[in-house]
Amino acid sequence: MKNNKEFSPILSKLNIILAEDDFADRLLFEEAIEELPVSVQINTFSNGDELMEWLIRKKTKLPDVLFLDLNMPRKNGFAALGEIKRNTKLQDLPVIIFSTATNNEMIKQVFKDAAHYYIRKPADFGELKELIYKSLKLIADNDMSLPGKESFMLTTE
């Protein structure tokens, strides 16, 4: 899956959130989505406080998915995930961890805290596109039951 011709179109329009403090990573994420055959509405937040304030204020339907970085200022991804999963209004929001963290204990923690999937940010742009596509396809297909440990980490393989 290295070019657009190999990605099947995702027909439903998706409303997604990206909580990521690194400006360059936000731009790469948005650029990858622009190159995919999918229509999205994206809201971005640079820290967990902004994200949680927006989610709690939101009166309409929840977004289709949240891509959540773990290492953010003010309120990190662990704290935001915990708040989301303890809030009855927000707990059904699918959360995909999108992080550079490679510590197995951190990964076990977000699995235990009911994140839906984990994407380790790849260095290669083609891999980034493939992982984002794979996760958006799961969302569009409504395949958001919590996976087992063996399926928790999304990879390009």
- Tokens representing 3 are 């070019």
Query: 17 and 30 in contact (C-beta within 8 Å)?
Result: no
pLDDT digit string, tens, across residues 87-107: 999 999 999 999 887 778 888
Dump pLDDT digits (tens) for 22-74. Answer: 999 999 999 999 999 999 999 999 999 999 999 998 877 899 999 999 988 88
Residue spans of the domains in the chain: they are 20-154
CA atoms of 153 and 84, how far apart (whole Å): 20
Residue 127 is predicted with a pLDDT of 93
DSSP percent split of the chain into helix, strand, coil, nearest 5: 40, 20, 40
- Interaxial angle between packed helices 77-86 and 48-57, expressed in degrees from 0 to 180 and rounded to the nearest 10: 20
Fold of 20-154: Rossmann fold (3.40.50)
